[in-house]
Chains A and B, each alone.
Chain A
Amino acid sequence: MGECFEFGWQAFDVAERFMTPVFILSDLDLGMNYWTCEAFEYPDQPLDRGRVLSAEEIQQNGFARYMDKYGDAVGERTLPGTPHPRAAYFTRGTGHDEYGNYTEDNEKWAVNLKRLERKIEGTRDKLPQPIVHRAEGAKVAIISYGSNDPAIEEARDLLAAQGYPAEYLRIRALPLSPTVHDFVRAYDHVYLVENNRDAQMTQILRMDMPEYAARIRPIHMCDGLPLTAAFIAEELLAREGR
């Protein structure tokens, strides 16, 4: 629950820093039921408006809305009301050059799309990082996300009691952090536990690291209810031949 609050204010910072829409996924189970939780933590960072230019900065260095001037593929922007003749730009759904001017030039289109790709890639280690729970003598590894967390923690207790301690990584953002990649590489196979019909996160992870696709094994179901620890533990042990 605390993460819902934390991600709420962080999402605005990410959106403005990287100039990209941010989607926060929650769970109706959290939103429509009463839960006890720790008190929310006050934000430990100031508001981040990202790269917003003033009239003075435009005068000194110019302004190119969609140019990769800083080497991180993130552009710069101005706010309406900035008193400089070069401050204005037109946000449009059609093709544009690095200055925001309309263009149908295919090369400029491609340059911009490549910049966007680099920009999104550059967020991997700057978004909320995964939480990794280690376990001494671990024989198996679990990856999951969101509100599956309590069921997985309970399943880990069940597994440990049967001599099968499990390490566990909880994904907190897409695109995936390099920590997720390292976690997958460290095991012969990992179980990706998720509450949906199509094993969607498994598919995302397999696309992200196709060379390790075979290592990622889904444990998933969707019956309209939260996953249970018993289901997770039994499925995992069955897959392990226990």
Chain B
Amino acid sequence: MGSRNKTNPLGLSLKEYDGKPSTLCVGCGHNSISAQIQQVIWELGYPMHDVIKLSGIGCSSKTPAYFLGGSHGFNALHGRMPSIATGAMTVNRSLTAVAVSGDGDTGSIGMGQFKHVVRRNVPMVYIVENNGVYGLTKGQFSATADVGQQIKYAGLNELPPIDICYEALIGGAGFVARSFSGDKKQLQELLKAALSYRGLSVLDVISPCVTFNDHESSTKGYEWGKNHNDVVNDFTFVPEYEEVQIEQEAGTVREVELHNGNRVLLKKIAESHDPTDKMAALHLIEDALHRQQLVTGLLYINTQHKTIHDFLHLPETPLVHLAQGDLRPGRESLDKVMASFG
């Protein structure tokens, strides 16, 4: 609550980054994620008008209305948010895109769009609020539900799950992380790094549905998350303007520099995981699935990936700010194309 009285580098209070009051169930993990998004964007001093909020359809996709009231927001068609994000970030590369989707919106109807937005590496933070269940339609299993899960109305799930992080890695994502809505500190640090990452960052956040899927044996519930959370690295985001203070034993802390001078410090925990090793990340996910553990932390990072801005050879000036004469090829260009058919 202390931060409510503080101001950020822009001189604004956290309250000024509020959205509308949430209409989700009390205790919903999504509300906690919204609060962390708001906290981090406020803390880092992003002007709200330079942030866009994007979502599809579902409980998760309602949440962009509940934070950053001063940012443009877009509720796309179900599973079609990536297309909107691609368009918005192509015409104005100076924006910061925060996208919120769900396990249904991304894992089922939007899977094709998800894979392609990852492949195109559209600079954006892509958060999947993952509860393994369709809440708005009253509790059917989603595609991320684990085998053997049982819920009151839908019965037993026998289908194997889709793993969002696995799909992101295979698709070529350069920043893949998993977190738990109950782990406020970890989520905040991951969000800060994701916002500084040049490219698409995928955050699969297990976010319990307190109404339909939060019983004792639910692998997307609070109890499970607390008791089976296998944190792979202690993760600290260091803004460009702060000195790095390392007090750990040499060799246990790894520093990864992001594109804008910000850095992340990764402290290895127990068995070491190298987050720059894609195969290790895939192995980690596969292994956790067999061990029925929730691995969280930064699973993979590659700061060398090209983005859609590189692929399209976009100028530094956002297209939206170019004059008409610079946007539309001249008459001679059309004449040349026409002449080539002659």
Chain A positions within 8 Å of B, measured between CB atoms, are 39-40, 42-43, 46-47, 78-85, 87-94, 102
**B65 and A81 within 8 A (CB):** no
B228, CB-defined interface residue at 8 Å? no
**A81 and B94 within 8 A (CB):** yes
How many A-B residue pairs have C-beta atoms within 8 angstroms? Tell me.
Answer: 68
**A89 and B72 within 8 A (CB):** yes
Contact partner of B20 (CB less than 8 A), chosen from A39, A47, A94, A102, is A102
A52's nearest neighbour on chain B, judged by CB, is: B320
**B74 and A91 within 8 A (CB):** yes
**A90 and B64 within 8 A (CB):** yes
**A88 and B70 within 8 A (CB):** yes
Number of B residues contacting the other chain (C-beta, 8 Å)?
31
**B49 and A84 within 8 A (CB):** yes
Q: How far is the CA of A61 from the CA of B88 in the complex (A)?
A: 26
**B328 and A43 within 8 A (CB):** yes
Contact partner of B73 (CB less than 8 A), chosen from A43, A84, A91, is A91
Q: Which residues of B contact A94 (CB under 8 A)?
A: 75
**B320 and A79 within 8 A (CB):** yes
Q: How far is the CA of A53 from the CA of B53 in the complex (A)?
A: 20
**A88 and B48 within 8 A (CB):** yes
B342's nearest neighbour on chain A, judged by CB, is: A39
A38's nearest neighbour on chain B, judged by CB, is: B338
Q: Which residues of A contact B7 (CB under 8 A)?
A: none
- Main SS at interface, chain A: loop
Residues of B24-79 contacting chain A, CB below 8 A: 47-50, 52-53, 57, 64-65, 69-75, 77
Given contacts A39-B338, A81-B92, A81-B95, contact A91 B75 (CB under 8 A): yes
Q: List 18 A-B contacts (CB under 8 A).
A: A46-B324, A79-B320, A80-B71, A80-B88, A81-B49, A81-B50, A81-B95, A83-B47, A84-B49, A85-B49, A85-B70, A87-B49, A88-B48, A88-B73, A90-B74, A92-B65, A92-B75, A93-B75
Q: How far is the CA of A47 from the CA of B95 in the complex (A)?
A: 23
B1, CB-defined interface residue at 8 Å? no
B73's nearest neighbour on chain A, judged by CB, is: A90
Q: Which residues of A contact B71 (CB under 8 A)?
A: 80, 88
A85's nearest neighbour on chain B, judged by CB, is: B70
Shortest beta-carbon distance, B224 to chain A, in Å?
A: 33
Given contacts A81-B94, A102-B65, contact A42 B73 (CB under 8 A): no
Q: How far is the CA of A91 from the CA of B80 in the complex (A)?
A: 14
Indicate the member of A84, A88, A91 with the most B CB atoms within 10 Å: A88
Q: Which residues of A contact B57 (CB under 8 A)?
A: 93
